[in-house]
Structure formats: C-alpha cells, structure tokens
C-alpha cells in the first residue's frame, strides 16, 4: 500500500533509539520514550497559500528529521507504524 500525504504533510518512519546505554546498561521497553527522529518516506505537493499558490516543502524523501515528541498522527501501514505530520512540526533536518 502506498500513501501519498496531502499538501504540507510528511510521512515519517521513526528511527529507534538503541536499547543499550553508552555504559552498557540495557533499557527495558517500559523505560524507553518514543523516538523523536525519523526518516522521511513521502511528502505532499506543498503548502497552499491564501491566494492558491503552492510552495514546495523544504524536506525531501530520504531526509533524517527531528520532530516534537507528541507531533503528528500515528498510523499503521501493512503492520508497520508510521507518522504523518505537518512540515511545521518538523524541528530540523539531521545532516551527516
């Protein structure tokens, strides 16, 4: 199933944090928070202005992004959790 977000929305796959700390301790699932980083899987056409003009999005497919902890809407696609959020909810792009 392919999902194409509308307008200024972005489809993101969360990137899991490691379950082991730097000192070697393993974290139980109940102690972990939801990751706030992800990979952009699909983007919409762009933001529509009041005059009807479409402005292209800054993020692109394949970008690693940081977003707010409670941003977006979680959905399941073929058994995998995905997140749909507005581009405004993205705080930054991680550049390697």
Give which of 21, 35, 89 is closest to 59, Cα–Cα.
Answer: 89
Amino acid 62: pLDDT? 93
Give which of 44, 90, 96 is closest to 69, Cα–Cα.
Answer: 90
* Tokens, residue 73: 């809407």
Amino acid 31: pLDDT? 53
Give which of 77, 96, 73 is closest to 86, Cα–Cα.
Answer: 73
* Tokens, residue 51: 């005059």
Encode pLDDT of 20-72 as tens digits. 556 766 666 565 556 689 999 999 988 888 888 888 889 999 999 999 888 88
Q: Provide the residue ranges of all domains of the chain, joining segments of one domain with +.
A: 9-16+31-94
Q: What whole-number distance in Å separates Cα of residue 47 and Cα of residue 20? A: 40
pTM over 0.85: no
* Tokens, residue 36: 């706030």
Q: Tell me which of 3.30.200.20, 2.130.10.10, 3.40.50.2300, 2.30.33.40 is the CATH number of domain 9-16+31-94.
A: 2.30.33.40
Amino acid 18: pLDDT? 59
């Amino acid at each position: 199933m392919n999902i194409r977000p509308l307008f200024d929305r972005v489809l993101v796959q969360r990137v899991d944090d490691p379950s082991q700390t730097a000192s070697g301790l393993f974290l139980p699932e109940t102690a972990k928070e939801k990751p706030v980083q992800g990979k952009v899987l699909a983007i919409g056409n762009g933001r529509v202005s009041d005059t009807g003009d479409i402005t292209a999005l800054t993020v692109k497919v394949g970008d690693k992004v940081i977003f707010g902890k409670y941003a977006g809407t979680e959905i399941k696609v073929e058994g995998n959790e995905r997140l749909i959020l507005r581009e405004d909810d993205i705080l930054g792009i991680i550049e390697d």
